[in-house]
Structure 1
Amino acid sequence: MPTLNWIGKDKVVNHHLEVPFKVLEHSYGFDNGVQTDKETKSGNKIIHGDNLEALKALLPEYEGKIKCTYIDPPYNTGNEGWKYNDNVSHPKIKKWLGETVGKEGDDLTRHDKWLCMMYPRLKLLHKLLSNDGLIFISIDDNEYQNLKYICDEIFGRNNFITNFTWRTDGNFDNQAKIKINHEYILCYSKNIDFFEYPKVVDPNISIDSKLFKTEIRNTIVKNGPKNPISDVKLPIGFPCDIESGVIKKRNNSWPHYESDAKIEDYKLTNEVIVKSGWSSKGIFEAFIKNEFNSVKDSKNQETTFTISKTGAIENIKSRSQASHVVSSLFNMGSTQNMSSELKKMGIDFDYPKSINLIQYLISIVNGENFIVLDSFAGSGTTAQAVLNLNDIDGKNRKFIIIELMDYVESITSERIKKVISGYSDVKGKGGCFDFYKLEQSLFNHDGNLNENVDTDKIRNYVYYTETKNVLNKKKHLDNKYFLDKNNDTSYYFLYEPSETTTLNHAFLATMKTKAEQYIIYADNVSLDEIFMTTHNIIFKKIPRGITRF
């Protein structure tokens, strides 16, 4: 598979591993119109901070658990003035990456910088995505090709689903020789084998379309190079649409009948060989072998077959949920419409994404209760889309949105507060969220644990590095340093912020959880190696033994 190289790639391919782990500090909760110091624990989160650091901070709780991600990163048009301010330590590119990215004529390496900014973020988004998850990425012509290449590399070309084109209704440059009125939305799955047919129909489809019927009939006669003519024997009892009658032997229309087909009580009374090219021969023969009981097609739809009044062979598909998603998106709002809606909330914001567009993208993802992540939150359209959809269909999706800019409090969170509580003549959707800030690093610059960080957050981190699981918050009938038991290994974190701890026989006497193996963190150990080996004890020194990821 072709790969893309650019200036600085070798320095950022694994940069996500070098990003310092910072903890999320709760600022306030917003519970159905009331702001409180307590966490609502609703699962809805607004995070203020650099999204690279925030994505890493989410890993211990959310790795492999995000089913839907939508991002709207900088398009690199030359007008944004964005900065790549990540702490890349390599001296040859540190200063270069920190400079403001300018227009093509002013900054000939701006595409390289954009790729350096995007690559580690996409790596972390991939880690957070669940096996059945989807990611949608908005982009335009400036970086579409580059984005496609790095997404093929990170998510896998086989997991590419489609490139949506969105017709951006509204104003565009009337001075241009060719008016650009579209953007792209790249869509990838984490694992294409888990991608299901979406339970949604393009909103531009007429309500009287056959797509909304619970039963669909189509002929399976299909002649052509890919459908060579072959015989199929229809046994006695094969279903028919007519109560009684005869379909005469024929070779002048498809399918050909080699003998008369006699019908009584809506069934064949004699064996008949029919000849044609078939669009669904395999499932057709499976239906016959299954004694005319329904079989499932590739979309898992119940399927039966019948002889029509004209002698055609038709399949009849039953479905409980229509699916019709096309790659061209239009009549889904505009940034101008969204700006006008935000003004009703008392919010001014340039180029907000259409709420209708984001709602539709989220609805492509099947499920009742899943998390939607947006790490370039802007004004918070994704969070509002989640609340709107839950209000419409009664589901329980959650949102996590991340925004670096200071307007996250005056615009992003204020918008979601108004959506929850109501504004102007719009009724509130109800709901809750918690607001967090990225604060201290877990480790100091000297590599030691930051004693100002809450011990529970350190415990969570350590347990995740060992097991890739979330630490269970319930109380255990063990000592206070016990983390949990996983795969018959018990984990202990013998840590006190301002004291030196020692793994010794006195500590072993306080342990109550039996396991085949014990992994114990402490500052020092006084047990001898033979004793620890005999009793399957593994000592890990704090902080050296703690894995960085």
Structure 2
Amino acid sequence: MPTLNWIGKDAVVDHHRKVPTRLLECDPKLSFGDPDAENLLVEGDNLEALKALLPRYRGQVKCIYIDPPYNTGNENWVYNDNVNDPRIRKWLGSVVGKEAEDLCRHDKWLCMMYPRLAMLREFLTDDGVIFVSLDDNEVQNLRAIMDEIFGQGNFITTVIWQKVYSPKNSARHFSEDHDYIVVYAKKADQFVPNLIARTAEQDAAYKNPDDDPRGVWKTSDLSARNYYGDGTYSLTCPSGRVIESPPKGRYWSISKERFEELDKDNRIWWGRSGGSIPQMKRFLTDVKQGRVPQTLWTYQEVGHTQAAKKELVAICDFDESVDVFITPKPTSLIQRVLEIGSDENSIIMDSFAGSGTTGQAVLAANKADGGSRKCVLVEVLPDVAEKVTRQRLQRVSEGYTDPKGNDVEGLGSGFRYCKLGRTLLDEYGDINGDVPFPDLARYVFLLETGVPVPKRPRKDCPLLGVHRGSAIYLLYNGVLGDRRPAGGNVLTHKVLSELPSHPDGDDSPRVIFGESTLLSDKTLSGLNVTFRQIPYELRES
């Protein structure tokens, strides 16, 4: 498979594995509503935030939507779209090194995107899917690196979204009417897109001119161009007219016997006079209650950027017009993404959250069908995260009054606002201070098994869960300096006897993380116990 090379690639291909795990710290003052809704808004660099979220959500996310910088060169708005923000420049300098000075803007964009896409892939379920919005500036580069990260065979399609409803007369060459949404699956053979809702116009095509008790229907042609050996018979209409054969160059698509069965069941329509070319009646109740997603999304169906701006301004207060996002996405666009790529209880992730459209779309979808979807959002800019993303989520949750004075009903739910805290391990590889038990528990379980802990860890229970027959335990009480056996961090015969039993019996394999052990390797082996010493055997996943 052809691959794309650029300056700095060697430095970033495996960089996502080297990002240190940081703790997430919830800010109750910035959180809102029902904390049990399990919606998260994380403020901070999205690569570090994703690494912090990995112990909780690896392999759990059904649908990812991201709207990354398009790399247009526009630097005069809230998002610097030339990958030239001081944060990115600093990051490129530390990761790429001296070569960063020679990077063109496309190199910078690729260096920024590659590790983030590689990290995002780890969150997807096996039947999960990622949607990425872009325009012509980087779409060809995106396809190349996503083929490399996700696998060429997991490319699903490129959707064209008609983002404007009128041409721009100021365009130098062509008026750009569309964006792209590139779609990849984690495993294409397991991803099954949902049908999307039928439109009122589609349903309006179904009538019932003969008052059939089975309801409304529409006709479909009974002839086809492909040769069919049993498809050349004559027919006699109810009016008495004889139709000697199918239309010229065509064949009846069913046998005469099958035709007669359908006619007897009143599933053949001969026209109001009873003498027309016969057609089959297809009842609305017999067709799929949905339609296969198409790759052209018009603004009439999923909205446009101008409507998205009005929607955002109606919800949020902005000090100045320059603070308003230039190209926000309409909620209806993300609702289409969710309709295709998620289920009623899915986890949805957006690591370029921006104005929070994805969060609003998730809440709206739950309100519409009673679902329990959860959203995980990451926004790098503190001012945007707090003043725009958070403000939007709170207002659409509790309800708001729009600029025209209309009260808009709230969507309910709530979210927790988190920030990135200290790293879990310090520069020497030691546990970094008094790390809460649940955070360390999530980390060691993911480290050992490759999957998130099955339920929220309890700080009074060392048994974290069972994975593929092995029970995982953590001996850690938050006092790293306590090396006494009675302190509970050291594995002894007494401590072992007090551990919660393996659900399959204590002869079954157990993996125990602890500060040290007083049991010999021979004793551990005889007890079917694998001991892992912390912090020395804590390595970044």
**Shorter-normalised TM range:** 0.7 to 0.9
Contact 1:249 1:260 in 2 (8 A): no
Residue identity opposite 2:396 in structure 1: V
CA distance in 2 between counterparts of 1:260 and 1:46 reads 63
Q: Deviations for 1:27-70, whole angstroms, at most 9, x for unmatched residues? A: 12778xxx47xx71212111101111111222222112211211
Aligned length: 488
Q: Which residue of 1 aligns with 2:195?
A: 199
Q: Secondary structure of the equivalent of 1:76? A: coil
Contact 2:345 2:371 in 1 (8 A): yes
Q: Secondary structure of the equivalent of 2:189? A: helix
CA distance in 1 between counterparts of 2:412 and 2:294 reads 32
TM-score by length of structure 2 reads 0.79
Higher alpha-carbon deviation: 67-76 or 465-474: 465-474
More strand by share: 1
Q: Secondary structure of the equivalent of 1:419? A: helix
Q: Which residue of 2 aligns with 1:364?
A: 340
Deviation for aligned residue 1:158? 2.3
TM-score by length of structure 1 reads 0.78
Identity %: 35
CA gap of 1:241–1:410, structure 2 versus 1, over 3 A, is farther
Q: Which residue of 1 aligns with 2:224?
A: 222
Matched, 1:507 2:495: yes
Q: Which residue of 2 aligns with 1:461?
A: 443
Deviation for aligned residue 1:244? 12
Q: Deviations for 1:68-92, whole angstroms, at most 9, x for unmatched residues? A: 211110111122233536757977x
Contact 1:383 1:401 in 2 (8 A): yes
Deviation for aligned residue 1:113? 1.3
Q: Deviations for 1:2-23, whole angstroms, at most 9, x for unmatched residues? A: 2211112122111110001111
Contact 2:68 2:133 in 1 (8 A): yes
Contact 1:249 1:261 in 2 (8 A): no
Matched, 1:187 2:190: no
Contact 1:164 1:328 in 2 (8 A): yes
Q: Deviations for 1:123-180, whole angstroms, at most 9, x for unmatched residues? A: 1111111222221111111101000111122222222222122222268461523222
Contact 2:330 2:357 in 1 (8 A): yes
Higher alpha-carbon deviation: 191-200 or 378-387: 191-200
CA distance in 1 between counterparts of 2:513 and 2:259 reads 80
Q: Which residue of 2 aligns with 1:8?
A: 8
Matched, 1:439 2:421: yes
CA gap of 1:256–1:491, structure 2 versus 1, over 3 A, is closer
CA distance in 1 between counterparts of 2:254 and 2:474 reads 80
Residues 17-96 of structure 1 correspond to what in structure 2 (within 5 A)? 17-28=17-28, 35=32, 40-79=35-74, 80=80, 81-82=84-85, 83-84=87-88, 93-96=96-99
CA gap of 1:260–1:125, structure 2 versus 1, over 3 A, is closer
More helix by share: 2
CA distance in 2 between counterparts of 1:19 and 1:57 reads 9
Identify unmatched segments of 5+ residues in structure 2.
75-79, 208-214, 271-275, 484-488
Identify unmatched segments of 5+ residues in structure 1.
100-106, 235-239, 269-303
Residues 353-502 of structure 1 correspond to what in structure 2 (within 5 A)? 353-407=329-383, 408-424=385-401, 425=406, 426-467=408-449, 468-473=451-456, 480-496=461-477, 497-498=479-480, 499-500=482-483, 501-502=489-490
Matched, 1:346 2:317: yes
CA distance in 2 between counterparts of 1:260 and 1:416 reads 61
CA gap of 1:242–1:430, structure 2 versus 1, over 3 A, is farther
Deviation for aligned residue 1:487? 3.0
Contact 1:30 1:433 in 2 (8 A): no
Deviation for aligned residue 1:464? 1.9
CA distance in 2 between counterparts of 1:60 and 1:70 reads 20
- RMSD of the alignment, in Å? 3.7
Contact 2:8 2:99 in 1 (8 A): no
